[in-house]
Structure 1
């Protein structure tokens, strides 16, 4: 693990997924954007590392919103290539090469990105759904479903019907989803997440804070996440783990 991929920092705090009986172990805080391909790749690599981690049953994942392009239109009439060419001011062939490279990396990790059918959409409402899912203890499952819907299945993650279907498939009620989507409560929660990120020096996603002490930036290899988890376990403060996203005294 290189110094550039792992750093020591102060705990961010945050609201964790509800885990019945959970009173020990470590928290992993993850900042990501549901419209970010590297966030999908990076979080899937983290999930793979976590699945093989001996202390996985004592790990609690806390999801944080970080919109890379909050001014993205709710719906864009055009392809991802069209949007990136227009917004970045880069030649179309260069954008196509970039997306092909990202899709190739994703494919090597078993993810089937479909840029030809990807629907450009503002991720704000999708983040609202994740915040609701976090209160119900299913944020990880909803996150993964949203990433797959956007990047692999060509679904519109700004469409309330799509979001309602994904939420209800993971145990949320249609009524509570309807109240959550577009609410000021979750806009405030998103702003709070972004402020937290800025407070600990995060300026890009994905970003992972393991046990409130170790930061991992970017879509690092599975082995990097595995080493970070192991280091946090072996170097845990005397007397136990952490709570509330940062180590308790």
Structure 2
């Protein structure tokens, strides 16, 4: 019988390293299936909780946050894109016509949608929704703070549109997201992606699949002996 692990993945839809890290992690999980079975669920982390509804220019935000010039920010972007290509999650523009400028959006409602999806479906369905949101942001450059965009994505992924809309209007769900983010901060989760295994072991960053595999096998062995 395969060992079982539960992994909480703290990440944001806006975070390129989260997309890369999840791609690498999911490869490791797929390769381990049958020996170590991993159930993953996504937890909320907002990199830009104060982003306005109209969003912000990504390059300007990064330049201000890191004290870099726009040229340095562009170089950073190329490093990220190279890593994404290598991981198997290309971030190049996949739409028609000229690529729109990259923007930073408020992701609070995206996290509400993901939390609701976990409650009404199962972790696998939530994972599919998260991956769709990542593609929407990085490959299609859609406004993932826009209600209609979120509902379109949810519907395509098999969720009931009316129920999803009601979830986005639920203040209790919004508050739950705030509580979970506060819990993460209180427990030292200040960077993403962070993978919390069985509620007590922490893996961070966008490591290679083989490194994730080794870590998961080791942790499964430790849990089996506990």
Corresponding residue for residue 70 of structure 1: 49
Matches within 5 A, 1:221-236: 221-236=208-223
Residue matched to 2:144: 157
> Which residue of the other structure, out of 167, 174, 178, is the alignment partner of 1:191?
178
Q: Which sections of structure 1, spanning at least 5 residues, go unmatched? A: 1-23, 240-249
State the SS of the aligned residue for 1:180. Answer: helix
Q: Which runs of 5+ in 2 are unaligned?
A: 94-98
- Please, what TM-score do these two structures have when normalized by structure 1? 0.79
1:173 match: 160
- Pick from 85, 99, 114: which aligns with 1:107? 85
Greater mean alpha carbon deviation, residues 192-201 or residues 95-104: 192-201
Cα deviation, residue 89, structure 1: 4.4
What RMSD in Å do the two structures reach over aligned CA positions?
A: 2.1
- Are residues 120 and 52 of structure 1, via their aligned partners in 2, closer, same or farther at CA, if it must alter by over 3 Å? same
Q: Under a length normalisation based on structure 2, what TM-score does the superposition of the two structures give?
A: 0.86
Secondary structure of the residue that 1:45 maps to in structure 2? helix
Give me the whole-angstrom Cα distance separating, in 2, the residues matched to 1:37 and 1:49: 19
Instruction: Specify the alignment match of 1:4 in structure 2.
Output: none
Find the partner of 2:204 among 217, 220, 224: 217
Native 8 Å contact 2:5 2:36 kept in 1: no
Contact 2:28 2:212 in 1 (8 A): yes
